[in-house]
Chain A
Amino acid sequence: MADAARLRTPATTAAVQRALEGHTRPWSEYIFQGLLFMALLISLGFLLWLLGDIFIRSLPVWTDRGVGGFVGSNLSSDPLKAGIAQGLFGSIVLMGIVVVLVLPIGIAAAIYLEEYATDNAVTRLLNTTVRNLAGVPAVVYGLLGLAVFVAIMKPVDGLNNGRNLLAGGLTLAIVVLPIVIITAAEALRSVPKPIREAGFGVGATKWEVVRSHVLPYAAPGIFTGVILTIARAFGETAPLLLVGAAAAGFGQAANATVFERVFGPYTALPTTIFSWARQPQEEFKALTAAAIVVLLAVVLIINAIAIILRNRYERRW
């Protein structure tokens, strides 16, 4: 009894508590946590510095020429007249070609790999190939575009020896196709088995189950993936340089027809940025920054839409 009473004194309770909690956390714990936090801050900070610097650098262009004056002007060697109209047109056409080609082929391939394919050698080959294609540097696809698409179009398209938007679009489509297949397959995989079994249970065929049961649930994931991929294609530069998107300015009559714009010399927004960044004149720095602001605005808005979509329609099974 006496022992028990002594054990319950506040002094012993405090001693036990101190022993359990340990002493104050040693400095090394704080230093380690501080270092980790620094790593995060530096990685985010660098990129925020980049965004801030480029935005400030671009301000003179917006105040002097206005958004319309810059976005609506053609390429020019005179920094006071140069604009990104041709680059923006080229990029938009390229994205159109990419979406038209990649959306059906990418989703169909993903459906085959996830829903139809049985686990055999052919399927494993397809899966490995797709994953490895996603890791091939984009510039290598540029070589493929140069040797295949440009060469095919050369005899047909005399305006620029086959170096047209169609060849560029096909090349970009091949760059992003594996990524679309992988993300769409992931979205299909996340739809649980019982959903499919419900369809088979009432006598639906495979395609009917896919169309009515799997695709509706997988659609948000698939579209998020596709949107992110398009954002990536929008900023892709190296393969376009290889298939001949003009890195320097090119002359084009103001009244050029759409046909001439698609099958003649072309440029895209990122290749315009690349060629301006290489100009030695100081005036082009502000122009480059302004073009980058437009590019980043498009890329970041597309990304934000995808993330909002994903958060809104994400489903936990």
Chain B
Amino acid sequence: MTASQHAPLTIGDLRGSRRRRQRELIIRSAFFLAAATAVLISLLIVLTLIGEAISFITRVDPAALISGSWRPRADSYDLASLIAGTLIIAGIAMLVAAPLGLGAAIFLAEYATPRVRRTIKPILEILAAIPSVVLGFFTLTVLSPQVIDRFCPGSTPVFNMAAAGVAVGILITPLVASIAEDAMYAVPNSLREASYGLGARKRMTSLRVVFPAAVSGIVAALIVGLSRAIGETMIVALVAGGVGGAVFNLNPCLPGQTMTAAMTAQAIGSDQAAGGLAYSSLFFVGFVLFVMTLALNLISERFVRRIRSAY
């Protein structure tokens, strides 16, 4: 029997040696620094965007901002024509992706056998990983000349906003389907059983019970899809026909330009020296795009939080 066995144990004994505590502190700080890089990056993004955007606004001729076309080389910076192009293409994309994506999601969550679901779900996820430049090439060579041009007679062949919109819609369909399916699959079975118990058929149960119960997840899926459609670049850069600049235009069968593609078009078009007005205009467009997608993300996050608290 040694004396130490009878000595009362103090908090100090439990805290361990000083070296051990120091090591813990160092590791903890390193992890915190890693997490803080995320904030640092967003600060950098916001600062660079705002700095150059302000420099653009102060130097640009106000008349150039409402000139009716976006042609940086001709010193016309009409943001409205970019926003029109962006909204038209994203709108067409949603017209394609919402019915297809939600239809596929309801089928997988409510109708498909577990085996079919287990097979299709990974395929959807893999298809969602196809790079957009690939879909852009396919649209250029097949979708636009063979399909879209039939519905847009007398328009600008191949290079138009309708083709870009449909292609973006196909691109985001697996994403929308996957998120919406997760939301519907998470609806507890007791709700479905209650509905069947009241004599409802499958269609009634899917549309009037499961769909409303999962509505926040479904809305979130649509908003994430919309945000992706607005941020989509490569399909538009290849197909929308606005590489050399675009005039303000609301007809989807004609060429147009989006904010994203306007940025790449300038980056590949010419070798502008830093400090030029065209260079600053990139950041101005980027800032508007950043604010739009940030707003959409914040809204969708609110909806996702609601679904989490529900079940």
Residues of A within 8 A of B (CB): 22, 25, 28-29, 32-33, 35-40, 42-44, 46-47, 49-50, 53-54, 57, 104-106, 108-109, 111-113, 116-117, 125-126, 128-133, 135-144, 146-148, 151, 174, 177-178, 181, 203, 205-207, 228, 231-232, 234-238, 241-242, 244, 247, 270, 273-274, 277-278, 285, 288-289, 292, 295-296, 299-300, 303-304, 307
Contacts and interface: CB of A to CB of B under 8 A. Distances in A.
Given A228-B129, A241-B268, A177 B37 contact: yes
Contacts of A242: 263-264, 267, 282
Contact of B38 (A28, A181, A247): A181
B195 to A, nearest CB: 14
A181 to B, nearest CB: 7
A295 B39 CA distance: 33
13 contacts: A50-B134, A50-B142, A53-B138, A105-B37, A108-B31, A129-B38, A135-B297, A143-B283, A174-B41, A228-B129, A241-B264, A273-B133, A288-B137
B118 to A, nearest CB: 9
A46 to B, nearest CB: 5
A112 B104 CA distance: 38
B27 A207 contact: yes
A270 B141 contact: no
A32 B233 CA distance: 35
B183 interface: no
Interface size class of B (residues with CB under 8 A): 35 or more
Given A36-B104, A53-B138, A205-B20, A137 B260 contact: yes
B48 A113 contact: no
Contact of B141 (A35, A38, A57, A307): A57
Contacts of B125: 303, 307
Contact of B39 (A129, A131, A247): A129
B234 interface: yes
Nearest to B290: A140
B100 A43 contact: yes
Contacts of A125: 39
Residue from the set A25, A42, A151 with the largest chain B CB neighbour count within 10 Å: A42
A135 B228 CA distance: 8
Contacts of B140: 277
B295 to A, nearest CB: 10
B94 interface: no
Contact of B203 (A29, A117, A177, A228): A29
Contacts of A47: 127, 130, 170, 174
Contacts of A292: 134, 137
A281 to B, nearest CB: 13
A136 B45 contact: yes
Contacts of B129: 228, 231-232, 235, 299-300, 303
B23 A178 contact: no
A136 B69 CA distance: 26
Contact of A140 (B28, B126, B170, B289): B289
Contacts of A236: 131
Given A241-B267, A277-B137, A299-B129, A29 B202 contact: yes
B131 A54 contact: no
B237 interface: yes
Contacts of A36: 103-104, 106-107, 111
Given A46-B170, A129-B38, A274-B238, A235 B131 contact: yes
Interface in B217-258: 224, 227, 230-234, 237-238
Given A228-B129, A303-B125, A205 B24 contact: yes
A40 B120 contact: yes
A148 B20 contact: no
B37 A109 contact: yes
Nearest to B294: A132
A36 to B, nearest CB: 4
B177 A126 contact: no
B88 to A, nearest CB: 17
A126 B37 CA distance: 9
Contacts of B202: 29, 33
Nearest to A107: B34
Contacts of A146: 267, 282
A117 B231 CA distance: 32
**Ranked 9 nearest A-B pairs via Cβ:** A235-B131, A39-B103, A137-B231, A108-B34, A112-B31, A36-B107, A135-B297, A238-B233, A40-B104
Given A29-B201, A35-B103, A116-B28, A133 B263 contact: no
Contact of B103 (A40, A274, A295): A40
A115 B294 CA distance: 27
Contacts of B16: 203, 205
Contacts of B132: 235, 237
Nearest to B298: A132
A42 B284 CA distance: 38
